[in-house]
Structure 1
Amino acid sequence: MEEKIGMTKLWALFLVVFVLLQNAQAAADGNKSRGGMRRLAGAPGVPVPMTLLTSAVAMGAVCLDGTPPAYHMDPGSGAGKNRWIIHLQGGSWCESVGSCLYRKASSLGSSNLMNKQIYFGGILSSSPLDNPDFYSWNQVVIRYCDGASFAGEGYDAGSGLFFRGQRIWNAAIQHLLAMGMSSADQVLLTGSSAGALAVVLHCDQFGAVFAGRGTTVKCLADAGFFLDAVNVAGWHTLRYYFGGVVATHGVAQNLPRSCTSHLDATSCFFPQNVIGGINTPIFVLNAAYDTWQIRESLAPDGADPGRAWRACKSSRLACNAFQMNFLQAFRDQMVGTVLGVSRSRRNGFFINSCFTHDQSEYLATWNAYGSPSIQNKAIWKSVGDWYFGRAEVRAIDCAYPCDNTCHHEM
């Protein structure tokens, strides 16, 4: 009996040592090749503290409530010390003084209410296993507290609301340039959701900052390809909503001239009307069945008074044939529009057939076992291949339900 127990202990010890050696070798191989490996999603990394940009207040660059803007920064190391990722936080918009007053009392309108530290994941991870291409870069998250994708300019005396998104953008970028970004040899502007729309609107502005410096500048918009689509009642929910954002925040003056020279300001808040005129290389990462757009643009409660879409919006498996056909038509519009506006071979895209929203910030969808892929290429590899010019990436998935790698949210 004692001999059996001894052998069991030895075998268990052998297994532990074997696993540790395998992990060490995998990490070493990942560091050597920068190819890394995909693994199971686990706990978040080290929390990154918030920094208040108090110097921006003198420039009038403040949140909705007048508090200073903020950012989080994880400094680069080794070869990444001279490379920067700037990530614009998302979080919808406010389209009226009333909704902005409500937003003011949250972390999306006041730096006083923001978490003082956040965890970086996905494309912002500092782990070479999770994020092989960008793990050692300077990684910065600019907090979103203006409600108009960093594009507003105005002040409402009656409510005391500051619509200063463009000033926040300017102040943050100037501050980071002074911190060392001005000498960067590679930079990537990223964002998710409303932050991804901000990437589209500011991509060329970002590129212009580095003109003549020999810096590689590119942009990545994740879950920001908001379509001017018809809802289930036959009208344009998002156009009406975006019209309110543009008017309330005074956005028109800060929109790309390549668009406003021939279209109205609200139209130029839609990425489909802006991307074609962007000169800086840009990558579009989006789910063809974007869940935010399904719930808030295609089938919002106001367009569905009988609540016929309630179950479908909660689970794709509850959608009837008519509803699924409607969603397939939306997917076709998404694919056709992306192809239409991304003709430049310098641009890239990854449009998968998943019911989700935002895929670059989380390990589970960025780079883990079972994370989404198209033709066996995961999101992290697709973005990296495009950024570093290792391969052209213009990936479009077949229609639902063909993709078994999706992480569906509904």
Structure 2
Amino acid sequence: MERLRRWIINIVVCALLSITTEGVGVGITYLESAVAKGAVCLDGTAPAFHWDKGSGSGINNWMVLIEGGGWCQDIANCIDRKGCDRGSSTLMRKEFGFSGILGPQNRTNPDFSNWNRVKVRYCDGASFTGDVEAVDPINRLHFRGARIWHAVMDELLEKGMKNAENAILTGCSAGGLATILHCDDFRDHLPSTTKVKCVADAGYFIHGKDISGGSYVESFYKQVVSLHGSVKNLPQSCTSRTNPPELCFFPQYVIPHMHTPIFIISAAYDSWQIKNILAPGPADKLRAWDTCKFDFRTCSQNQMNVIQSFRYQVLNALKPVMDNKQHGLFLDSCYAHCQAGGEDTWMLDNSPIIDNTTIAKAVGDWFYERNYYNKVDNCGYPCNPTCPDLNEAD
């Protein structure tokens, strides 16, 4: 029964994750040369990416976006995962629409629309950190995310990124976490003359307390790191200082030791974190949060008080970003998850704003140093009227 339940959930999740974004379709490139290096997806297939070439003033500028889509923490979940495009490149869409921060239109993406824009597909299940040589002949799972990362970087350098004048590494959710974990390494791959910064969207997963008083997310990430052999590929600047080292899967322990400027886009009421860090199923034995965490309109006053207190956990975890002037921050009081990938939340008339500034303008001003931007909605949910209504839709 449990296997059937997980299979059904996996089918639904895979279907949702496969929905293309708006924008012009960009064809897929399979990196077949990486297979000989063991840089492969969970099922052993070649990694892949989509590349929309730059033009005009953006011909030597590069935006590399790492796709998101959760993690797999045990063999059963990784086996399920390789049954969709987050574990096998053979199941990936051949074309992907680019929008938001990858958008091709100057009207909705004025600072980056003519850059080389790359979407790196996510098929390893550990934010591109794993590297286990052995492959069990029974489950045939390959934990090789770190090898994929390096293979893709090498390929993009050969395709022209080695001549980059400006470069940004970005990503949403698990891709946002990968952005944080690989930001300094991305800087190291590029010439010293390249202006390099990173933008992590909804990837700042906090080491927080759940409704039971424990930290289910800590045990979950510990399983991910252990299964994929990730510790050796987490930032050494963090693992050499943090005990246990697997805590370096949490951005709040990585950011203080980073050298590369990074901009954090996040929601104080991040919908994934509300569901999986504050009120995960294992911490909610009576299932009292089953409805509330998906739709705040159904929450009791006590539950809303707990949700409001979660915002303070988020603010505390973000102090390393707030306290460093080279970093940027857009923390709205929305119930949302990932806000840079779509035009509706990136830069339209009804997009989320803080101090009359959209996310797109905040990131652009920060990257080009037109204006320092480190802003927080100084009020609780639902104080920001520009937030999208994602209740029951996330």
Question: Above 0.5 in TM-score?
Answer: yes
> In the alignment, which of 117, 130, 135 is matched to residue 95 of structure 2?
117
Pairing 1:95–2:76 present: no
Pairing 1:400–2:381 present: yes
> In the alignment, which of 320, 329, 352 is matched to residue 349 of structure 1?
329
Pairing 1:280–2:260 present: yes
Q: CA deviation at 1:337?
A: 1.9
Which position in structure 2 is the counterpart of 1:366?
Answer: 346
Pairing 1:226–2:211 present: no
Distance between the aligned counterparts of 1:401 and 1:113, measured in 2?
Answer: 39
> In the alignment, which of 130, 152, 159 is matched to residue 139 of structure 2?
159
Unaligned 5+ runs, structure 1: 1-42
CA contact (8 A) 1:239 1:266 kept: no
> In the alignment, which of 384, 401, 406 is matched to residue 364 of structure 2?
384
Which position in structure 2 is the counterpart of 1:299?
Answer: 279
Q: CA deviation at 1:342?
A: 4.1
Q: CA deviation at 1:226?
A: 0.4
Q: Deviations over 1:64-91 (max 9, x none)?
A: 0000000001111100101000000000
Distance between the aligned counterparts of 2:124 and 2:337, measured in 1?
Answer: 21
> In the alignment, which of 121, 132, 148 is matched to residue 143 of structure 1?
121
Distance between the aligned counterparts of 1:235 and 1:344, measured in 2?
Answer: 30
Distance between the aligned counterparts of 2:284 and 2:325, measured in 1?
Answer: 41
Pairing 1:216–2:190 present: no
CA contact (8 A) 1:225 1:271 kept: yes
Matched letter for residue 49 of structure 1? G
Q: Deviations over 1:7-47 (max 9, x none)?
A: xxxxxxxxxxxxxxxxxxxxxxxxxxxxxxxxxxxx93210
Which position in structure 2 is the counterpart of 1:15?
Answer: none
Aligned pairs, number: 367
CA contact (8 A) 1:122 1:131 kept: yes
SS in 1 for 2:388: coil
Q: Deviations over 1:211-270 (max 9, x none)?
A: 42x110000000001011111112111101100000000000011111111212221100
SS in 1 for 2:35: helix
Q: CA deviation at 1:193?
A: 0.2
Which position in structure 2 is the counterpart of 1:254?
Answer: 233
SS in 1 for 2:268: strand
Distance between the aligned counterparts of 1:406 and 1:374, measured in 2?
Answer: 10
Q: Deviations over 1:176-228 (max 9, x none)?
A: 0000000010000000000010011100000111242x110000000001011
CA contact (8 A) 1:276 1:342 kept: no
Distance between the aligned counterparts of 2:387 and 2:54, measured in 1?
Answer: 32
Matched letter for residue 102 of structure 1? D
CA contact (8 A) 1:335 1:351 kept: no
Q: CA deviation at 1:320?
A: 1.5
> In the alignment, which of 216, 238, 241 is matched to residue 237 of structure 1?
216
SS in 2 for 1:312: coil
Matched letter for residue 314 of structure 1? F
> In the alignment, which of 79, 91, 100 is matched to residue 57 of structure 2?
79
SS in 1 for 2:291: helix
> In the alignment, which of 282, 285, 309 is matched to residue 329 of structure 1?
309
Distance between the aligned counterparts of 2:112 and 2:241, measured in 1?
Answer: 38
Distance between the aligned counterparts of 1:57 and 1:156, measured in 2?
Answer: 14
Larger radius of gyration: 1
SS in 2 for 1:49: strand
Q: Deviations over 1:133-165 (max 9, x none)?
A: 100000000000000000100133242111000
Q: CA deviation at 1:316?
A: 1.1
Which position in structure 1 is the counterpart of 2:104?
Answer: 126
TM-score by length of structure 1 reads 0.88
Which position in structure 2 is the counterpart of 1:27?
Answer: none
TM-score by length of structure 2 reads 0.91
CA contact (8 A) 2:22 2:342 kept: no
Distance between the aligned counterparts of 2:119 and 2:360, measured in 1?
Answer: 18
Matched letter for residue 75 of structure 2? V
Q: CA deviation at 1:332?
A: 1.1
Matched letter for residue 174 of structure 1? D
Q: Deviations over 1:338-364 (max 9, x none)?
A: 123442211100000000000000000
Matched letter for residue 372 of structure 1? P
> In the alignment, which of 386, 390, 393 is matched to residue 409 of structure 1?
390
CA contact (8 A) 2:345 2:352 kept: yes
Which position in structure 2 is the counterpart of 1:183?
Answer: 163
Q: Deviations over 1:317-346 (max 9, x none)?
A: 221111111111111111122123442211
> In the alignment, which of 171, 175, 178 is matched to residue 195 of structure 1?
175
SS in 1 for 2:149: helix
Distance between the aligned counterparts of 1:140 and 1:109, measured in 2?
Answer: 19
The alignment-based identity, stated in percent, is 46
SS in 2 for 1:274: helix
